[in-house]
Amino acid sequence: MNIRPFGKWNEAELTGTEQIKRMGAAQKIKAKNVTIKSDDVYLIQGSGTTPYTVTLNSCTCMDYAMNKKPCKHIFYMALKMGYISFPSYNQEAAKLFDFKSEKEKYEKMFNDGIISADSYLKIISALDYEEAESTKCHTDKSECEQLVLLPETEKQEGKQNYESDQNSSSVLGCCSKYRECSQAGKCIQTDEYYKQCAYRKNLENGQIFYSKKSIFFNQERYDYLAEYYRNLDDEKRDAFNELLDYFFSKKRGVEDCLCIYSKQIYSIVSDCVAFNLHTGTELASKLFGSEIILVKSASKFYSQHSLTITPAEIDNNAQNKNDKLQIWRNAYLQSESVQSALSERFIYFSVSEYAPELEELFFENMAEFKFETRLLVAFTSDTLNDFKHQLFT
């Protein structure tokens, strides 16, 4: 990778694993979400309603506010201006790379407890995918080049679906029958098409990633969860079922959730080790990042719940709404009383390392799920106004 200096950043702020991740994320930003305001200012639409204002030196997004290093939006701008170029795919290097030894190295790290099961799965899936791609490039160069071009050239629907299946293989590593394949310990598909499935190779090597046969599944953890689940009263079990439905059906693959406060939901996520309840600081950051709290509401809520006066910098230093929002965000992150008030209205939590066991609990009990009234009101674009209203209830 080649990076030419840009903006105010030094080499240390532009390199390293985390920054490479941000560069990768920058490549996924769609052009339709970008407005070039001037030669040195971009407006990039995120998940909220107000686009981020981006220069080579700064951005109004949460990531930049928290880390004070180039975020994916800044890297997007640098990529478009030619300051960053990624290396071309090297077929000869891929052919010589020892994928087997590399996977054995990470398997040992997993067995020694150095990396988590989730990290191991992601690394091995990525290596399997790249190994399969390197083989394709050597057996059929034209096919490899065609696949590389697919995302940009938007070829006919059939090839788009093929490319989509390839991408999903690196995540799920299988088709919709991944659980049946896992339980059987082999790929149950007979069609030639499914020979490209990356998960098939894992199964052939005895690497099962799903069901109770998964290398990540822990029977003791599952027994604990099953016992915990059985001992819940009807009201709390309904809340637990909603959490299972959210993480393993509605939002499969999502690891965290921001929701409106519910006594039953809070009781589960604060008590059960299968969930991690995030801190007040993390909750406040999430609310700002989701644009639930904007300048006007930030000021009003802060004045109602803070034990200190309104930050003087608002009048002295703020040049525009983005500056004001940044100052309010910092004030919230430093005020325990404000964070406490937010925690009475919202809950921010995630799934812990018990995810494999939670998933099995979901599949074993989903047939009995009955949601007459919903306790979990999670944040989406459809519930944005509900969350804004909740600030002042």
Question: Is residue 53 scored above 80 in pLDDT?
Answer: yes
Q: How confident is the model at residue 174 (pLDDT cuts 50, 70, 90)?
A: low
Instruction: Please state which of the ranges 34-48, 126-140, 201-215 shows the lowest mean pLDDT.
Output: 126-140
Instruction: Give 58-72 pLDDT, tens digit per residue.
Output: 988 878 887 788 999
Question: Is residue 356 scored above 60 in pLDDT?
Answer: yes
Mean pLDDT of 365-369: 89
Q: Rank 96-100, 173-177, 329-333 by mean pLDDT and report only the highest.
A: 329-333
Question: Could you state, in order of their start, the residue ranges of all structural domains in the chain?
Answer: 2-85, 91-204, 220-390
Name 226's Cβ contacts closer than 8 Å, sequence gap at least 6.
361
The per-residue pLDDT for 136 is 61
Mean pLDDT of 363-373: 86
Name 368's Cβ contacts closer than 8 Å, sequence gap at least 6.
none
Residue 340, token pair as written in the block: 């406490």
Report how far Cα 112 is from the mean position of its chain's Cα atoms. Answer: 26
The per-residue pLDDT for 55 is 92
Question: Is residue 161 scored above 70 in pLDDT?
Answer: no
Give the whole-angstrom CA distance, residue 349 versus residue 347.
6
The strand pair at 2-3 and 34-38 is best described as unpaired
The per-residue pLDDT for 170 is 38
The per-residue pLDDT for 157 is 36
Question: Is residue 132 scored above 70 in pLDDT?
Answer: yes
Give the rounded percent of residues in the chain with a pLDDT score beyond 70.
Answer: 86
DSSP tally for the chain: helices H, then strands E: 21, 8
Instruction: Give 279-290 pLDDT, tens digit per residue.
Output: 999 999 999 988
